[in-house]
Amino acid sequence: MILTLASVADASRHLREAADWLTEAATLLEDFPNSAIRDTWLAEVLTRLGDSLRQAGHHGEALEALRHACALAEQNGTEPLRTAGAHNALGILAKTTGDYPRAVHHYAQARLLIETTLGTDAPELASLHHNLAGLLHIQGLYLKAEPEIRTALELRRGGRLPDRAGIAADLSVLGAVLAGQGRFEEAKQSLETALGMWESLYGPQHYEVAVQLHNLASIHQEAGDLDAANVYFVRALDIKERTLGGSHVEIGEVLCNFASLRCEQGFTAEGLMLYAKALAIFEACFGPDHPKTQMCAGRRSRAAMAISK
């Protein structure tokens, strides 16, 4: 029952509530006598807890939960896929906090475990190819990212029951990767397909819809269609603020990109204000040395210099 409540909260993006339910489940399991079955379930709950905490922006707590989950799964020795799940979650967390080499390490560990257990064409590998593509994208390695995300799509589409949500997520990353290569029309097509799938699955006000709107905003900006980009940014920011709250790191990402657009449109004073809000969020979440904090600070500084000339 507790895990069901956690799943409902997570699906509606009430991430702190989901984390509270999962914490309660973990506490109950820890009171059970030590056994392989208990450790298996506890590792699963802690992995889900760590992922919810990461998405809620509580990175230190997420790392503690995920390390515990990984240790339990490895200690059990009979649950390689659960161990892979914990490593995958640790990889996502490392990417989020800017530790890209650590992310690569955890993804490689997860991939080895899955391939050894299920083979090299297992659908369960799709999420790892997806995550690696996202990691390469954030580093600007778009050509290397493309085959990874296309492999993820192929694996998901080839399953007996195609994973519609997974395919939509892959199409989103593919769109971003194609945009990074300057292939804007292909990128728009991929993202618009993903947007339609998310709206069909969850409705027009869901978090995943906002993710696609944000991506489409950035692509329209890069393609020079600034008015369309503005519309997408406003919609994305509205949904994400209502879904995540005003201080979540993803709000900072939208604000930072929206600030760039407003400056490009000639509204530099408004852009500087948006940059300041984004920078405050990044500094609170990550500190001053994180790549996102430094990127935002650099953009704000260049915009301020331009307005002073």
Q: Is the pLDDT of residue 4 over 80?
A: no
- pLDDT single digits (tens) 55-101: 888 899 999 999 999 998 888 766 788 899 999 999 999 999 989 99
Banded model confidence at residue 140, pLDDT cuts 50, 70, 90: very high
Q: Is the pLDDT of residue 38 over 60?
A: yes
Q: What percent of the chain has pLDDT over 90?
A: 64
Angle, vertex CA 296, rays to CA 292 and CA 301, nearest 5 = 150
The pLDDT score that the predictor gives to residue 258 is 96
3-state helix, strand, coil split of the chain in percent (to 5) is: 85, 0, 15
Q: Which of 13-17, 143-147, 270-274, 288-292 has the lowest mean pLDDT?
A: 13-17
Q: What percent of the chain has pLDDT over 70?
A: 94
> Cα separation of 303 and 162, whole Å?
45
